[in-house]
Structure 1
């Protein structure tokens, strides 16, 4: 039987589970290839026992860690977890080397354990990363941090956007090396073209889609930007 929007395929190529971690309730995403059951954690900021349990629950073999940006709640435990699992870290863009270098200091500040690390692969706009048989496109979206990246799986109309965009809000730009205009430009020129039906996991809070944000987001709705 052929599939349709009313009759989605029983076994989509990708599945994802969101696991909030750290006292900052950061959305760590476990995503995996349904064909191979190989997966990746995006932004394992902490609470590794929760993440181990999630991988076991979904019977997923973790083959890499992906990082959107260098803030403590998103990657404080990435280095430790990668070493434990024996897997590589891919991301973020090298512009966030500054943030990754200070993870230990920031961890003390926020009460979250942080360990500096060197990714096995820094990413740039236009790169691709694989998870099992899945291929995700990488978009460099600076502004919240200079090295922030977004991961997009086009066939699933799904993206993990870190702290670039939230339901009803956008990322803070008052941290060191933040830039408000860069963030707006990244959202408009790199996220909106991915299509309104694209569902995204933000770094915190509930999921949304780009069409909803273009209609209602008080910072980047089309009507708001048209008046800027």
Structure 2
């Protein structure tokens, strides 16, 4: 992580999902990645640091990553008195984003909302935020429209539920595909370079190099 940016991980939902708040200490501008729930906890940090959120980014459409996005958008828009857009993932995850209460009910959870992004992203495009450029990479298999946000200058990526320390994302869903996920990790993540830090949706950060050599799913 370059000194020009700061990062806070806020664990949210019963799944302990890593909601990431990335901000510039110089400008106090921020982006929020995967606000799955516990919006009051996210807002408390934003308020404490007096941050202005430019956008909310979603890696994919699962409840624990997107279930708080609509509520956070409303609260931030009211606080900042200007619209705060929800951006991503790829459009293939739209059915998941529109059925979050149904997903939550399967786990006995309430208070999570469906969300319609202000726009979906596509593989290969670049998002500009906080004076940095983030490449959007499509890494399907966990969900059809899952994306990763990669900053080549700062050498880190928000990878959602694609690659973890010692593991990969679940694929035991009707729309999951383990072979597709591993192939996409090999094609879209491993070439980034061994020094790149990956920030997953659950658990600790790791590096591409550590997973290339030590992850049993990539052996």
**TM-score greater than 0.5 by the shorter chain:** yes
What's the secondary structure of 1:54's corresponding residue? helix
The answer (yes or no) to whether the contact 1:38–1:132 under 8 Å persists in 2 is yes
Match of 2:97 among 100, 104, 107: 100
CA distance in 2, matches of 1:113, 1:136: 31
**Structure 1 residue 108: Cα displacement:** 2.0
What's the secondary structure of 1:152's corresponding residue? strand
The answer (yes or no) to whether the contact 2:198–2:208 under 8 Å persists in 1 is yes
The answer (yes or no) to whether the contact 2:39–2:71 under 8 Å persists in 1 is no
The answer (yes or no) to whether the contact 1:22–1:46 under 8 Å persists in 2 is yes
**Structure 1 residue 15: Cα displacement:** 1.8
CA distance in 1, matches of 2:170, 2:135: 24
Q: Which runs of 5+ in 2 are unaligned?
A: 78-83
Q: Which has the larger radius of gyration?
A: 1
Residue number in structure 2 paired with 1:4? none
Distance change >3 Å, CA 151–CA 112, structure 1 → 2: farther
TM-score normalized with structure 2 length:
0.92
Match of 1:191 among 181, 189, 192: 189
Write the mapping of 1:166-205 to structure 2, written as runs, cut at 5 A: 166-205=164-203
**Structure 1 residue 112: Cα displacement:** 4.3
Which ranges of 4 or more aligned residues in structure 1 deviate by more than 3 Å?
none
CA distance in 2, matches of 1:113, 1:129: 30
Write the mapping of 1:122-137 to structure 2, written as runs, cut at 5 A: 122-137=120-135
TM-score normalized with structure 1 length:
0.89
| Range with greater deviation from structure 2 (165-174 or 114-123) | 114-123
The answer (yes or no) to whether the contact 2:166–2:215 under 8 Å persists in 1 is yes
CA distance in 2, matches of 1:136, 1:63: 14
CA RMSD in angstroms comes to: 1.5
CA distance in 1, matches of 2:199, 2:134: 14
Q: Which runs of 5+ in 1 are unaligned?
A: 1-7
Residue number in structure 2 paired with 1:3? none
What's the secondary structure of 1:219's corresponding residue? helix
**Structure 1 residue 58: Cα displacement:** 3.2
